[in-house]
Each structure stands twice: as C-alpha cells, then as structure tokens.
C-alpha cells in the first residue's frame, strides 16, 4: 500500500532581480523551474531515498510533500489525504527534520523538547525526552541555549524532537549533516531498526551514497528537477554491470585531467574522489585499461596505485546525473 503519493509536481521560483525590456517600459519576471513533472509513490514500511545534486529540488520537494510549500501544479497525498488541504488529518502521524533545524534558538535544548512535547500532546514526554537525550548524547548539553550549539548538535536535538510523537511516517532531509562518523553510523542503525521493528516509513534525502545504499529499499535519482530513475540500489548498480571500474590514486592531480579523461571515447565516465586523491574511471572494456594508463602517463600523472572495483551507487549516481541515462 502506498502511504505517500506524488503526482505531476511542478514548481517555479522567481529569480532574484528583474529583467527590463528594450524600452525600459515593462519589467519581465523571470522564473526558474525547480521541479518538473515529478511523480512517485512511497510504500508503507519502506525507506525511500531522494538522491540528487545540490539544487536538484530535493528539499523543495519534501517541503511540498509535508505541506510547507504549495506546488504550482500537481497533487500530493499522505495516507490518502490531500496535502495541504487535509494536513490536519495526518499531522499526528508524521514528523520531519530539515537540514536547517527548525528550533527555538533563544531556548535551551531540553526546553525545546518539552515545548514540542506539549505541542504534540505527548503523554510520556519526560521519559521520551530522557531517552533521546541519552541516545543522541546530549545530556550534558541540554541546558545550553541552541544559538550556542554546533550544526551537529542542532541536528541531534532536531532529530530527538521529530521522534517524540512516534510518527508512522518520518521525513528526513540530510539527517546526518554535521554529525561525526560515529553518530552518523549510530543514527543509520537506529533508523534501520525503527523501520524494521516499528514499520516506520521513512522518506530520506541525502548526499551520502553509502547512506542511501545501506538504508534505502528504493531510491529516486533527481536531476535538474526531474526524476531520472527509480529502483532499488542493487538494480541501479546493475546499470553499469557491463562496464568496469578502474580506481587510480594519483598524486598532485589536476582538474583538467578529469575533463580530458571524459573526452576519451573508451571512457564512460571519470570523476575525482577529492578527499582520497583518487580518480574512478568507468571503461566500457577492461582491455582498455592499458590505454588509460598510457594516457595518464602521457599527461604526466603520477600514479600511486591502481585497482579494479565493482560499480557503487555513487558511480551510478554520477553516471545518471550527467545525462547518460540508459533505458
């Protein structure tokens, strides 16, 4: 059964500034189309991921689904109720976390949770607040005002807030932003458990491909406001099943080299993993590996190591969002 239905959503935003006509008599309004005919369904009890580059419309889409913003065209339903017109009928069953924490900055973290527990009419509020303060390792920070907290701490308080009403549908927009690796892993395992044991449906946006691969039953890849592909992470990785991945560690790599690699006919895609000084190159045939090595050496690239690898969700993501979609 589908608990979230998104049908033919379109959304435009007016660009900053105004463009004058030739005679300066008429000011024309210019718009950017952020979402273009977006449609998908989220099934009960699944973790559904929205993946896309910055500016692809993910956050705008979640705001439209949760009734915080109206689409120019299209329809959203949650649990069969039209949003935002019938939001009051589902508001107690959902909650949302956005990358920019929607908290009261002039209040302490604990008081924020107490205030929201009253808004949500939580019966066992004190017990739940203690539980989530402990889980998110915030017990020694609960009495500090939120304007003094770091991005990661704000996100943890915001996550605690969203869990207070035990929602059956949880919307998470970049929930691990600002979290350290330990807390990110802890949260991912918690979400997996919450989904499995309590059948909580989760709609997740993320930039972290390993996060989507680990958590999501299905993902929708969005690029330039359109849904490019929807499938399971495993099926998406099969898109590149006939290609081979070569991973080179190169010292003193130059951006211009990536452009040159992408211009080669036998290279499907080349991208840089910046924090590791690695270049992942998708080739149509492993026999062309010697040609890649020769090309790199001719361009004075200092090769430190070479490995072959299986396609990852990130490889597919980059492949699809560059417009090379296969049917």
Residue-level pLDDT, tens digit, the chain, 327 residues: 899 999 999 999 987 655 555 555 555 568 889 999 999 999 999 999 999 888 889 999 999 999 999 999 999 999 999 999 999 999 999 999 997 667 898 999 999 999 999 999 999 999 999 999 999 999 999 999 998 888 899 999 999 999 999 999 999 999 998 899 999 999 999 999 999 999 999 999 988 889 999 999 999 999 999 999 999 999 999 988 877 888 999 887 788 888 999 999 889 888 887 666 789 898 878 888 899 999 999 998 889 999 988 888 988 988 888 744 333
* pLDDT computed for residue 320 by the predictor: 86
- Boundary residue ending a domain (236, 269, 291): 236
Specify the 3-state DSSP secondary structure of 247: strand
Q: What does the pLDDT read at residue 213?
A: 95
For residue 48, the model assigns a pLDDT of 98
Per-residue model confidence (pLDDT) at position 243? 77
> What pLDDT shows up at residue 73?
97
Q: Is 256 contained in some domain?
A: yes
Identify the pLDDT of residue 25: 52
Chain-centroid distance of CA 104 in Å reads: 25
Same domain, 232 and 247: no
- Hey, how many other C-beta atoms are within 10 angstroms of the C-beta on 65? 26
Q: What angle (nearest 5°) sits at the alpha carbon of residue 21, between those of residues 17 and 25?
A: 100
CATH number of domain containing 21: 3.40.50.300
Alpha carbon distances (Å) from 242 to 94, 229, 237, 311, 323 = 42, 18, 10, 10, 18
Is the pTM value of this prediction over 0.95? no
Note the pLDDT of residue 22.
Answer: 54
CB 282 within 8 A of CB 245: yes
Largest CA distance in the chain: 70
> Residue 322 domain-assigned?
no
Length of the chain: 327
| Contact status, residue 149 vs residue 141, Cβ threshold 8 Å | yes
Q: Are residues 191 and 302 in the same domain?
A: no
Strands 47-51 and 218-223: parallel
Enclosing domain of residue 299: 242-310
DSSP assignments along 258-319, one per residue: HHHHHTSTTEEEEEEEGGGTEEEEEES-GGGHHHHHHHHHHTT-EEEEEEEE---HHHHHHH
Question: Both 147 and 57 in a single domain?
Answer: yes
């Amino acid at each position: 059964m589908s608990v979230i239905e998104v049908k033919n959503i379109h959304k435009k935003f007016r660009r900053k500034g105004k463009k004058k006509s030739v005679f300066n008599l008429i000011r024309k309004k210019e718009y950017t189309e952020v979402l273009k005919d977006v449609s998908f369904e989220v099934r009960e009890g699944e973790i559904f991921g929205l993946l896309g580059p910055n500016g692809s419309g993910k956050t705008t889409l979640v705001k439209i689904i949760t009734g915080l913003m109206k689409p120019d065209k299209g329809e959203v339903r949650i649990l069969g109720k039209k949003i935002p017109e019938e939001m009051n009928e589902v508001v107690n069953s959902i909650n949302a976390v956005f990358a920019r924490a929607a908290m009261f900055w002039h209040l302490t973290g604990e008081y924020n949770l107490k205030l929201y527990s009253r808004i949500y009419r939580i019966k066992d509020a004190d017990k739940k607040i203690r539980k989530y303060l402990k889980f998110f390792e915030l017990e020694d920070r609960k009495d500090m005002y939120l304007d003094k907290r770091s991005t990661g701490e704000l996100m943890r308080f915001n996550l605690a807030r969203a869990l207070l009403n035990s929602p059956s549908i949880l919307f998470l927009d970049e929930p691990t932003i600002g979290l350290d690796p330990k807390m990110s892993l802890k949260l991912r395992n918690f979400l997996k458990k919450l989904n499995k044991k309590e059948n909580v449906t989760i709609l997740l946006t993320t930039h972290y491909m390993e996060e989507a691969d680990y958590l999501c039953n299905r993902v929708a890849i969005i690029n330039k406001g359109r849904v490019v592909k929807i499938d399971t992470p495993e099926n998406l990785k099969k898109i590149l099943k006939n290609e081979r991945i070569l991973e080179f560690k190169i010292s003193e790599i130059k951006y211009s080299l990536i452009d040159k690699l992408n211009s080669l006919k036998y290279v499907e895609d080349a991208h840089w993993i910046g924090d590791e000084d690695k270049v992942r190159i998708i080739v149509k045939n492993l026999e062309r590996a010697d040609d890649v090595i020769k090309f790199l050496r001719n361009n004075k690239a200092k090769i430190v190591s070479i490995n072959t690898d299986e396609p990852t969700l990130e490889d597919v993501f980059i492949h699809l969002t560059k417009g090379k979609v296969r049917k």
